[in-house]
Amino acid sequence: MVRWQKLFGAAAAALTAMAFGGAAVASPAAAAPESDVTPFVVGGTRAAEGEFPFMVRLSMGCGGALYTTQIVLTAAHCVGRTGANTSITATMGSVDLQSSSRITVRSTYVYRAPGYNGSGKDWALIKLASPVNLPTLKIATTTAYNSGTFTVAGWGANREGGSQQRYLLKAQVPFVSDTSCRQSYPDLIPSEEICAGYPQGGTDTCQGDSGGPMFRRDAANAWIQVGIVSWGNGCARPNYPGVYTEVSTFASQIASAAASL
């Protein structure tokens, strides 16, 4: 099964080729007609200003979250090789991408998960040129929060085949067990991925939401990130939940990589 990664539009093919050194790799933009290449939170509502201040929009058409005030956690399939990179612009600080109060900062370095080859290990870090004065989103370090109902948010499409959104959308999706998810996705990697969505569909992340966080409240009622938007079959289709990188699996690697940047 082709992994329909939730990267936005035409940028997907170019970034996928760049990520694999120009090799011909099937990507959502290259392998599917436009109707199958969707971006955004489907079935969502507009987020309130300041509701999720850690959310980041990346210029290649992905999302992310502030891991530190100078590092963004996103998906590996959104970026190229590990190394210096000043081509990415991160926009944050407002739900409105056109707001005069938005903050934009260029990247200086990209760290892509070691061993990433398009299947699993879908996480990456982007170092910004300067820190920002915004709250960060802590990540889960155990599987304790890998259940229940999650929140997803992004500027991706609000329907399959739709267009990028100006305003941040949010939605809630329930946990789907590995056993159930593998009925839809036989190539799921349970040790590295977590699924969420409704059996009837209707609510999901979509292309353009790639790299964004899936999060919930922890025991102290603070937001904690448990997933990274990774892939799925279309957007909000019945019996095809969204697939997310299981953050707790890679928490120690993420922390070590961030400390080295």
Active site residues: 77, 122, 210
A 10 A CB-CB count for 135 gives 13
Structure tokens at 179: 């056993």
* CA distances (Å), origin 77, targets 134, 239, 241: 25, 24, 19
CA distance 230 to 219: 26
What secondary structure does DSSP assign to 169-218, as a single string? EEEEEEEE-HHHHHHH-TT--TTTEEEE--TT---B--TT-TT-EEEEE-
Q: How many CA atoms lie within 13 A of 200 on its CB side?
A: 2
φ/ψ of 195, rounded to 5, equals -115, 150
Region class of 211: left (phi > 0), else alpha (psi between -120 and 50), else beta? left
Asked if 6 and 77 touch (Cβ cutoff 8 Å), the reply is: no
* Strands in 75-160 per DSSP E: 83-84, 89-92, 103-112, 124-128, 138-139, 149-154
| Cβ partners under 8 Å of residue 196, min gap 6 | 150, 152, 173, 174, 175, 176, 214, 227, 241, 242, 244
Q: Is the dihedral of CA 180, 186, 192, 196 positive or negative?
A: negative
